[in-house]
A = this chain, B = another copy of it.
Amino acid sequence: MPGRNVSTAVIKRLPRYYRYLGDLIDRGVTRISSGELSEKMNITASQIRQDFNNFGCFGQQGYGYNVESLYGEITKILCLEKSYKLIIIGAGNIGQALVNYSGFQKRGFQVVALFDTNPKLVGLSINGIEVHDIDGLEDFLENNEVNIAVLAVPASSTVKIAQRLYAKKVKGIWNFSNTDIHAPEDVFVENVHLTDSLMTLVYGLNDISN
């Protein structure tokens, strides 16, 4: 598969390229130079050229990049041609915000179930998705394909829930809980630590004021 040996630093920039190129396609732009993209994205033109060279020969001197081809290639590298089934564990604020967010559906991400311990929530349907009792997690995973589990539970329950997911061979975890998990090597964890992010903001804010 192309791009599998692309460096981590490049990979980290791919979602942003994907987002920008998608915007250009929506606006009917068919080609763009590294210089134009550089101005929009605040990345140097040489960095952009270097990154895109990893994916093949999309640039042409004096013509720029073919937006559609480049977008297609990044889609492939990010494996966004497939669709993905998600469960969300924790039907609190973050869990509900995620299940209500229509943007995921558009990109091929389908939430198939919510789980919670709260009897007031279990059995409800949120944006058409049923809230299951967490006790039924293993049963659900045995009978349904699930690619990604979203952890939106309190820090204190995170590790235990994560272990139940590993045991049932869930390979992708999107962790919103305010704690880290140490997953087995064959599980990929992406963390969204909102309080860490807020603290980075506060540091930056004070740094700027000094």
Contact = CB atoms under 8 A, between A and B. Distances in A.
A186 B1 CA distance: 44
Interface residues of A, number: 59
Interface string A152-195: 00000000000000000001101000111010001110101111
A193 B15 contact: yes
A71 interface: no
A148 B199 contact: no
> Copies per complex?
2
Given A147-B205, A192-B192, 11 more contacts: A15-B195, A19-B196, A79-B205, A84-B202, A93-B96, A93-B100, A93-B101, A94-B101, A188-B207, A190-B204, A192-B197
A15 B79 contact: no
**Listed residue (A15, A78, A147) with the most chain B CB atoms within 10 angstroms of its CB:** A15
A80 B1 contact: no
Contact of A199 (B14, B187, B202): B14
Interface of A: 1, 4, 11-12, 14-16, 18-19, 41-42, 77-80, 84, 93-94, 96-98, 100-101, 103-104, 107, 109, 147-148, 171-172, 174, 178-180, 182, 186-188, 190, 192-210
B174 A197 contact: yes
A182 to B, nearest CB: 6
B97 A200 contact: no
A190 B197 CA distance: 7
A168 to B, nearest CB: 15
A172 to B, nearest CB: 4
Contact of A107 (B1, B96, B101, B195): B195
A12 B207 CA distance: 14
